[in-house]
Amino acid sequence: MTAFTPRRAATAVLAAALLAPLAACGSDGDGDGGKAKTAGGTKLTVLAAASLTDVFAEAGKAYEKSHPGTEVVFSFAGSQELAAQVKQGAPADVLTTADTRTMDDLRADTGKPTVIARNRLVIATGEGNPKKVGALKDLADPKLKVVLAASEVPVGRYSKQVLDRQHLTVKPVSQEANVRAVLSKVELGEADAGIVYRTDAAGAPGKVDAVDIPDAENAIASYPAATLKESQHADAAAEFVRWLSTAPAQKILRDGGFQKP
């Protein structure tokens, strides 16, 4: 019998907390293998990486317009939080993560994933870059308040990769649960700099500056999307994943700063 350690107890509590919002917004599916409907049509619940927040809000509107009768509801969080929701049986239909590793770990719970976009890292600083951060090496300055995502989060893992390759030791003042939390710390002046995706920094004009990281030092983030096997809207979920690779959806992603798959 597996011991119920304090760590397992904490994990269970976290999972329960993550499931609560979805339970409230989930559809009243009848388990008919893809034909479950809400009162007004089909409601798709899409679990999506936090860095997709802005672009998916626009994509969802476009999808609903081209697919009358379908409502798309998003739940945004760090990919590791989304994985916890899936493993706990969250009532959702589609999953999109900010890395292939998290998706691969869920292969028993998803359909075949499709990479829909890619992204790169930048260093976010306060508006005007008051600390004159110019490169990754500057983040190792102990006088600089740097915030990173936790290592369990895709952007945190990517950040560690690029820093390790440059043999840099950075001691962050905090480690956040998703990339939007990192960006918020910089926006609020609680940190001098942080590593985020290029799209996140671009989505905060007038609040942060973005310092480019050279390609040779950077990491490429891949965003796979997949249906969830427990979806009560199997056909509609598959259609949404397919649509994400179409020209209209790809234009929205490009306009949002994401790179081609």
Q: Find the mean pLDDT for residues 186-191.
A: 96
Q: Does one domain contain both 136 and 40?
A: no
Q: Does one domain contain both 214 and 227?
A: no
CA 17 to chain CA centroid, nearest Å: 18
Q: Does one domain contain both 161 and 251?
A: no
**Structure-token match 């691969």, residue found:** 104
Q: Does one domain contain both 176 and 106?
A: no
pLDDT of residue 40: 57
Q: Look up the pTM and report it.
A: 0.82
What CATH number does the domain containing 87 carry? 3.40.190.10
The answer to the question of residue 164 being in a domain is: yes
Per the prediction, the chain carries an average pLDDT of 87
Q: Find the mean pLDDT for residues 156-160.
A: 96
Q: Does one domain contain both 48 and 90?
A: yes
Q: Does one domain contain both 46 and 163?
A: no
Q: Say how many domains are in the chain.
A: 2
pLDDT of residue 205: 82
The answer to the question of residue 251 being in a domain is: yes
Q: Does one domain contain both 127 and 197?
A: yes
User: Residue 3: is its pLDDT beyond 50?
Assistant: no
The answer to the question of residue 2 being in a domain is: no
Q: Does one domain contain both 43 and 58?
A: yes
Give per-residue pLDDT as tens, 198-237.
999 998 888 999 999 999 999 999 999 999 999 999 999 9
Q: Does one domain contain both 131 and 143?
A: yes
Q: Find the mean pLDDT for residues 137-151.
A: 96
Give per-residue pLDDT as tens, 25-37.
433 333 333 334 4
The answer to the question of residue 52 being in a domain is: yes
- Structural domain containing residue 79: 10-19+27-117+222-255
Query: Which of 114, 85, 78 has its CA nearest to residue 197?
Result: 78
Q: Does one domain contain both 198 and 226?
A: no
Alpha-carbon span 70 to 66, nearest angstrom:
9
| Cβ-based neighbours of 62, under 8 Å, separated by 6 or more | 248, 249, 252
Q: Does one domain contain both 49 and 101?
A: yes
The answer to the question of residue 5 being in a domain is: no
Alpha-carbon span 238 to 241, nearest angstrom:
5
Q: Find the mean pLDDT for residues 9-23.
A: 42
Alpha-carbon span 238 to 146, nearest angstrom:
40
